Structure 1
Amino acid sequence: MTLPTTPLVFDGHNDLLLRLLLGHTTVEQVRNGGGKHHIDLPRATEGGFGGGMFAIFNPDPPGASSSLDNMTDDMALSGLLDPDVALRSTVGQAALLHELAGDGSVIICRTAEEIETALDKPPMAAVLHLEGADSIDPEFRALNVLYALGLRSLGPVWSRKTRWAEGVPFRFPSTGDTGPGLTEDGKRLIRECNRLGIAIDLSHLNEKGMDDVAAITDAPLIATHSNAHAICAHARNLTDRQLDMIAESKGMVGVNFAAAFLRPDGKMRTDFGLDVMLRHFDYLIGKLGENGVGFGSDFDGAMVSREIKDVAGLPKLRQAMLDAGYGAALMTKLCHGNWIDVLCRTWK
């Protein structure tokens, strides 16, 4: 049976830039294939992966407990990163995205219209995203430079603390009610992102921080890669109260493919079926409506179902969605239409 590669997917989150920074793959391998990571251009074409948010993530120093490949069910997180070290990492990853563009693997997009234009081309449509604003200075000079380089989406925190806010720990079972909200600097950051037209990502923010963002922002509330707490009681997932807030703002949530945020038992194991993912899609559509849900895979930053494995496995998920009764119009919305719409309304 031939599996569907359309509608093309625009995805809310991936960590390919970090994989490049750490030397887990190369710019050439992204273009030609052959790496062991989740995303490259040949497999993206095979799977109908049209592009997405390419995250800059600043890792802990070597040996720290919260490295990308050392996550546990209750992981201890490090404190504040050295901002100079974080800035070097941030600039390095932004430069790598531009190298990918120069090599023909991506097209850097700064508007919703550019995403629409680039989506069906062989290079992937790429929006630069900052996952954790560790490298941003209080005067926002780095923010403005990154904006000029294409930054259009920003999460004030990863799961560690920054000068702006506190993130949720990797804890199961738990809610995201784990600490105080935005700092005064954090409130200034939200206002500055609103002024520039940078989307605010709520995915790693704790509950009080999300409440503070909702009270300040004039943009739709967006969680680029989060799931339903009612199904998987992980601190990283969104409670019904939070989903109601997102729905009221006409925002959206990208479904995270990470095992620990999907499985009802919260385990970081890949032996689960696509039906587990569909439960989250169904629940979120029920809470947010058909216009409020999309993909937020966390490819290259998470352990995903072995039934998908990487971007080339996306046709299996599309087929499962079709088999579950998702119609053509809904599929287009979920795969890319909702992302383009919410970013259009956010970036103005």
Structure 2
Amino acid sequence: MLTKVIWGSCLALWIGSCSVTLAQDYMTKALQLMSEVPLIDGHNDLPWQLRKQFNNELNKVDLNTLTTTHTNIQKIKEGRLGAQFWSAYVPCETQYKDAVRQTLEQIDVIHRMCQKYPTTFRFSTSSQDIIDAFRSKRTASLIGVEGGHSIDSSLGTLRTMYHLGVRYLTLTHSCNTPWADNWLVDTGSEPSQHHGLSSFGKQLIVEMNRLGMLIDLAHVTVEVMNQVLNMSKAPVIFSHSSAYSICPHKRNVPDDVLLKVNETGGIVMVNFYNDYVTCSKTAKLSDVADHFDHIKKVAGARIVGFGGDYDGVTRLPEGLEDVSKVPSLVAELLRRGWTDEEVKGALGNNLLRVMREVEKIRDHMANEKPDDVPIPYDDVKNQCRTSFGYSNTGAVHSLSIAALLLTLALQHLITFTLY
């Protein structure tokens, strides 16, 4: 009996030792792959935390020692973060008010963050910039504007933000815009205003293709997802959404849409928020890996990426509590049998492929003129908005009609006099 107990104990110790060794091997492999391909994360809300906690007074903040966020420089280094789309987010409450100003201030704080910490961050706007930053051992820092309300229904504002370095626009946040429906419509808690996109919303998609700006479908209705996937010349992204079949939350992506994302060459960057991972307040790292597995199974590993949503959420899975923990998720994918090439794709190659295609479409459309037809004034008319431009256009139009009528009358008079 004693011999059996001893052998049982030895066996348990041996199995435990093997498990530890295997875990170490997977982590070693994960870190190796992360040294070869940049980990590109689709969405981080640190800039909003700088607004909330410090009113963007960056001179009063040290990102090396900041402890009240999921993200700081030490955590970035431990997490091997190769590139980050920093979110220039402002709440829906700013819509029809000061959304553009507030968004510009968020764009500004991202620029200043890169300027203050030049050995950590490199401001980036292209796929090649990401590669260059990675080679220089800095985190490529890109800007994504989260919510179409930030452009105040203006193609000119969209273009201006692009010139300031913005490389994706999330079409809606959690409110409808005058040209697109948001995800809450699918929950039944808000009415549809546009049955997806309005005609101006479709103009916007074309203009984003022309500019070379990534179209982000996180936060939109399924109808908007399908409309954009059907009409966009360039592949799209979901910067921070997970798989609906694993967690049926309306912020997640249904299987039929995953298939369309694959057909059109896009990417779904998996969100870590517990509520989108397990549809509950608790989750584990393995639950997030389940979303990666499901997307891979349904539509292929080529459409998967990382979109942690750090500093934008209040609950994160056990094992993914902050930016430093992401290598553990990479090791878990390896443990589940993902090949090196599949992992490299999820880390960054998939997103780089999407960006390069978006840039290629931009170059093909280089000779097309910017769209300068504004949204109909009745679609945006409110007490906080003036009608400058619209009234002038109307006056010119009325004058043209008057001139035409006068010309016809004169022609009639001349004809009558001659005969």
TM-score (norm 2): 0.72
| 8 A contact 1:175–1:234 mirrored in 2 | no
Q: Deviations along 1:40-91, whole A, 9 cap, x unmatched? A: 2221111111122111111245xxxxxxxxxxxxxxxxxxx43341111101
The counterpart of 1:102, out of the listed 83, 102, 115, is 115
The counterpart of 2:298, out of the listed 287, 297, 302, is 287
The counterpart of 1:276, out of the listed 287, 307, 310, is 287
Match of 1:33 in 2: 65
- Structure richer in helix, relative to its length: 2
| 8 A contact 1:295–1:334 mirrored in 2 | yes
Does residue 12 (structure 1) correspond to residue 24 (structure 2)? The answer is no
Q: Deviations along 1:239-263, whole A, 9 cap, x unmatched? A: 1111121111011110111111110
Rounded Cα–Cα distance in structure 1 between residues aligned with 2:184 and 2:235: 25
Does residue 46 (structure 1) correspond to residue 58 (structure 2)? The answer is no
Rounded Cα–Cα distance in structure 2 between residues aligned with 1:344 and 1:185: 26
| 8 A contact 1:176–1:206 mirrored in 2 | no
Rounded Cα–Cα distance in structure 1 between residues aligned with 2:203 and 2:292: 34
How has the CA–CA distance of structure 1 residues 122 and 236 changed in structure 2, closer, same or farther, with 3 Å as cutoff? same
| 8 A contact 1:181–1:212 mirrored in 2 | yes
Rounded Cα–Cα distance in structure 2 between residues aligned with 1:259 and 1:30: 29
Rounded Cα–Cα distance in structure 1 between residues aligned with 2:188 and 2:247: 10
Letter in 2 for 1:116: I
How far residue 188 of structure 1 moved from its aligned partner, in angstroms, is: 1.3
Match of 2:178 in 1: 163
Q: What are the ranges of 5 or more consecutive residues in structure 1 without an aligned counterpart?
A: 62-80
SS at match of 1:32: coil
Of 246-255 and 161-170, deviating more is 161-170
Rounded Cα–Cα distance in structure 2 between residues aligned with 1:106 and 1:92: 19
| 8 A contact 1:101–1:107 mirrored in 2 | yes
Does residue 296 (structure 1) correspond to residue 307 (structure 2)? The answer is yes
Q: Deviations along 1:161-215, whole A, 9 cap, x unmatched? A: 11221111298xx599973201122111111111101010011110111122123
Match of 2:364 in 1: none
How has the CA–CA distance of structure 1 residues 35 and 208 changed in structure 2, closer, same or farther, with 3 Å as cutoff? same
SS at match of 1:291: helix
| 8 A contact 1:159–1:170 mirrored in 2 | no
| 8 A contact 2:292–2:304 mirrored in 1 | yes
Letter in 2 for 1:184: S
Rounded Cα–Cα distance in structure 1 between residues aligned with 2:181 and 2:138: 36
| 8 A contact 2:285–2:318 mirrored in 1 | no
Rounded Cα–Cα distance in structure 1 between residues aligned with 2:154 and 2:241: 30
How has the CA–CA distance of structure 1 residues 286 and 20 changed in structure 2, closer, same or farther, with 3 Å as cutoff? same
Match of 2:4 in 1: none
Q: What are the ranges of 5 or more consecutive residues in structure 2 without an aligned counterpart?
A: 1-19, 361-419
Does residue 345 (structure 1) correspond to residue 357 (structure 2)? The answer is yes
How far residue 289 of structure 1 moved from its aligned partner, in angstroms, is: 1.3
How has the CA–CA distance of structure 1 residues 176 and 258 changed in structure 2, closer, same or farther, with 3 Å as cutoff? farther
Rounded Cα–Cα distance in structure 1 between residues aligned with 2:44 and 2:99: 19
| 8 A contact 1:226–1:256 mirrored in 2 | yes
Percent identity, aligned pairs only, is: 29
Letter in 1 for 2:101: R
Rounded Cα–Cα distance in structure 2 between residues aligned with 1:178 and 1:327: 44
Of 136-145 and 231-240, deviating more is 136-145
How has the CA–CA distance of structure 1 residues 60 and 143 changed in structure 2, closer, same or farther, with 3 Å as cutoff? closer
Does residue 88 (structure 1) correspond to residue 101 (structure 2)? The answer is yes
Letter in 2 for 1:50: G
Rounded Cα–Cα distance in structure 1 between residues aligned with 2:67 and 2:201: 38
SS at match of 2:175: coil
Q: Deviations along 1:282-341, whole A, 9 cap, x unmatched? A: 110112212111111111112211311111111221221222122222211111111111
Match of 2:243 in 1: 228
Give aligned pairs, total: 323
The equivalences for 1:128-147 within 5 A come to 128-147=143-162
Of 299-308 and 3-12, deviating more is 3-12
Of 206-215 and 333-342, deviating more is 206-215
Rounded Cα–Cα distance in structure 2 between residues aligned with 1:325 and 1:210: 31
SS at match of 2:329: helix
When the two chains are superposed, the root-mean-square deviation of aligned CA atoms in Å is: 2.3
Does residue 306 (structure 1) correspond to residue 321 (structure 2)? The answer is no
Q: Deviations along 1:2-37, whole A, 9 cap, x unmatched? A: 644341411111111111111268646464132321
How has the CA–CA distance of structure 1 residues 216 and 236 changed in structure 2, closer, same or farther, with 3 Å as cutoff? same
The counterpart of 1:117, out of the listed 132, 139, 150, is 132
The counterpart of 1:329, out of the listed 341, 346, 364, is 341
Q: Deviations along 1:120-159, whole A, 9 cap, x unmatched? A: 5443211111111212144422212211110111111012
The equivalences for 1:185-264 within 5 A come to 185-263=200-278
How has the CA–CA distance of structure 1 residues 95 and 233 changed in structure 2, closer, same or farther, with 3 Å as cutoff? same
Rounded Cα–Cα distance in structure 2 between residues aligned with 1:243 and 1:178: 25
